Structure 1
Amino acid sequence: MKKGSKLPQTTKTRDEQPHAKQGNKQITEKEAGDVEEMSSPRTPVIYEIVRRLGDEEMDRPITSLWWSGVAAGLSISFSLLAQAVLQSHLPEASWTHLVTSFGYSVGFVMVVLSRQQLFTEITVTAVLPVMANLTLASLWRLGRLWSVVLVANMAGTFAAALLCTFTPVLTPELKAAVLDIAGQITNHTWMEMMVRAIASGFLIATMVWLIPSAEAAQFHVIVIITYLIAAAGFMHIVAGSVEAFFLVLNGHLGVLPMVTDFFVPVLIGNIIGGTALFALIAYAQVMKEI
């Protein structure tokens, strides 16, 4: 080697450069990126995702909201159908309800993953932007969204009930199972219906909050949350309206009792659970950070 010549120095790639120290160890920039990627999003990030989703929903044209809501009402009817299929093939036992409750998740998976408009989802997504900017214009946008989606959901569930009642789409065994499951909504008092609906509204709002960070596990989040609603006997205004309309159309429930003893308490409960409880708590978590 010639005098004065320098030894060749190896160059480290960017990924090999030490980035930060953890105790006595160093991690590379690539590893630091992996840490960032694998970390759960902070609560303000989840809040902002849900809030922006609510803003987008309130800005959609009425026609889009309507047909998306009708589609959600039709899709959610498959929750009742799936439960009936399971019940008609299972023996009567103490565990039967725990198994048939898995069928309840089918309609919700269809609705949520296809981004159809479901009233109980928007009780939290649409309320967050209103709470962040409480004005008459925001309240008008919220009322517009809620009313269009709720009526559209009811139109979809009523159409599904009509189809199941006046066409041979269901076998006699399935129809009997549907009537048996639907009849359970008449076994509760007004107050029981409302309190059970509060729990359901809170759980659906929780599901909406969990989905942004669930990524590939969204399916499992939807199934677990909605299974719990069915297994515990909680009340959901949209899924339950399929059962209520089916009972009315088959002469097992009057229109007035359906409105006063089912629709009113369950609607109030779902709104309280999704809005007054969950949305307020979600906003309170981040109001000093946003």
Structure 2
Amino acid sequence: MDHAPTPSEPAGALAHDDPERRASDREIARDEAGLTGHERGQIKDNLRLSARTVFSVIRREGEEELYRPAMSLWWSGLAAGIGISTSVFAQGLLHQSFEGHPQRELIAALGYAMGFVLVVLARLQLFTENTLTAVLPLLAGPNTQRLWRTARLWGVVLAANLCGTFLTALILDMVVDPSHPTLAGMLAVARKAAEASGTAALLDGIPAGFFIAAFVWMLPSSKGVEIFVVALFAWLIGAGGFTHVVAGSTEMFLLMAHGEMPVADVFALHLLPTLLGNVLGGTGLFALLAYAQIKGEI
């Protein structure tokens, strides 16, 4: 997803109708009258994007995603499912490499961030990103067409993501020697993740959905440090043991392919509860809060 700032948005009704705001604007204009063009440029460069501007950037991206062809969404989502599996690979690699280290879990969580960095910066379709991006246009202008297109986007992307993670897990199980240290580390990480099931998976999915939506909201203001924003919040999800439906599906499918988990348990005890938690955290909490803070300004 492209997070470049949009052109300056039009002044809202508050800026026109509030006498105090108009007086403040005049004072600022007088203060800046004696500045050089370079100095005024420095001021502009150092201003943070307003909440309304961030909303406009993400809303515009969401509108573009809603009208993309289904096949484009599918192939991008499939690539994202394969790419997010990098998280499990890197986490398993570090988990195995730091065996016996007192901070093993925190270090291994750095690997968990790798798949998210790859998917987000490559602008691939990841379901949990769309719990914010695609929902803001619907909140701003609810209608039947947007509701249908949001459901279509979610359905296609989630299915493609899960197909990508399933293919990755299946190939790993078929091709890689079970005694390989990295695969052993991946299985160990997957067994740990599988401990959260049912209600626990749902509850652990809420913070994960919230954090994903939070870094999507922050990206338009990140200005060149996007990789650190994504990595920090993804690390927090991994370090906190929170559940993510797409990255977690790689772990569950790997256990299924390895004969350690029945298909019914993969979906009923892990993926479905995690999916619900991610949606509640990303849409039910963050998207609604993000929209509420700017509703009076648009």
TM-score (norm 1): 0.90
Q: Would you say 1:36 and 2:36 are equivalent positions?
A: no
2: distance between equivalents of 1:101 and 1:189?
Answer: 20
Tell me if the contact between 2:74 and 2:157 (Cα under 8 Å) persists in the aligned partners: yes
Please list the CA deviations of residues 152-175 of structure 1 after superposition, one character each: whole Å capped at 9, or x if unmatched: 000000010011100137762111
1: distance between equivalents of 2:104 and 2:208?
Answer: 21
> Stretches of 4+ moved more than 3 A in 1?
none
Tell me if the contact between 1:164 and 1:170 (Cα under 8 Å) persists in the aligned partners: no
Aligned to 2:195, which of 187, 201, 207? 187
Tell me if the contact between 1:70 and 1:156 (Cα under 8 Å) persists in the aligned partners: yes
2: distance between equivalents of 1:187 and 1:168?
Answer: 24
Counterparts in 2 of 1:97-246, with a 5 A limit?
A: 97-168=105-176, 172-246=180-254
**Unpaired runs of at least 5, structure 1:** 1-18
Q: CA deviation at 1:36?
A: 1.0
Q: CA deviation at 1:176?
A: 1.2
Please list the CA deviations of residues 213-247 of structure 1 after superposition, one character each: whole Å capped at 9, or x if unmatched: 10200000011000000000000000000000000
Tell me if the contact between 2:176 and 2:183 (Cα under 8 Å) persists in the aligned partners: no
Q: Would you say 1:287 and 2:291 are equivalent positions?
A: no
2: distance between equivalents of 1:144 and 1:166?
Answer: 33
1: distance between equivalents of 2:293 and 2:211?
Answer: 18
TM-score (norm 2): 0.88
Tell me if the contact between 2:78 and 2:161 (Cα under 8 Å) persists in the aligned partners: yes
**Unpaired runs of at least 5, structure 2:** 1-28
2: distance between equivalents of 1:258 and 1:20?
Answer: 64
Change (3 A) 1:141 1:174: same
Q: Which letter does structure 2 place at the counterpart of 1:89? A: S
2: distance between equivalents of 1:278 and 1:115?
Answer: 21
Structure 2 residue aligned with 1:21: 31
2: distance between equivalents of 1:118 and 1:129?
Answer: 18
Q: Which letter does structure 2 place at the counterpart of 1:44? A: R
Tell me if the contact between 1:120 and 1:271 (Cα under 8 Å) persists in the aligned partners: yes
Change (3 A) 1:189 1:149: closer
Q: Provide the secondary structure at the position in 1 that maps to 2:130.
A: helix
CA RMSD of aligned residues (A): 1.5
Change (3 A) 1:34 1:87: same
Identity among equivalent pairs (%) = 40
Q: Provide the secondary structure at the position in 1 that maps to 2:35.
A: strand
Please list the CA deviations of residues 35-58 of structure 1 after superposition, one character each: whole Å capped at 9, or x if unmatched: 012111111000000011111001
Tell me if the contact between 1:20 and 1:28 (Cα under 8 Å) persists in the aligned partners: no
Q: CA deviation at 1:85?
A: 1.1
2: distance between equivalents of 1:229 and 1:179?
Answer: 19
Tell me if the contact between 2:170 and 2:254 (Cα under 8 Å) persists in the aligned partners: yes
Alignment size in residue pairs: 270
Q: Which letter does structure 2 place at the counterpart of 1:21? A: D
Tell me if the contact between 2:87 and 2:115 (Cα under 8 Å) persists in the aligned partners: yes
Aligned to 1:60, which of 54, 68, 73? 68
1: distance between equivalents of 2:91 and 2:31?
Answer: 55
Tell me if the contact between 1:161 and 1:245 (Cα under 8 Å) persists in the aligned partners: yes
- Which sits farther off after the overlay, 110-119 or 183-192? 183-192
Q: Provide the secondary structure at the position in 1 that maps to 2:225.
A: helix
Structure 2 residue aligned with 1:6: none
Tell me if the contact between 2:166 and 2:253 (Cα under 8 Å) persists in the aligned partners: yes
Structure 2 residue aligned with 1:91: 99
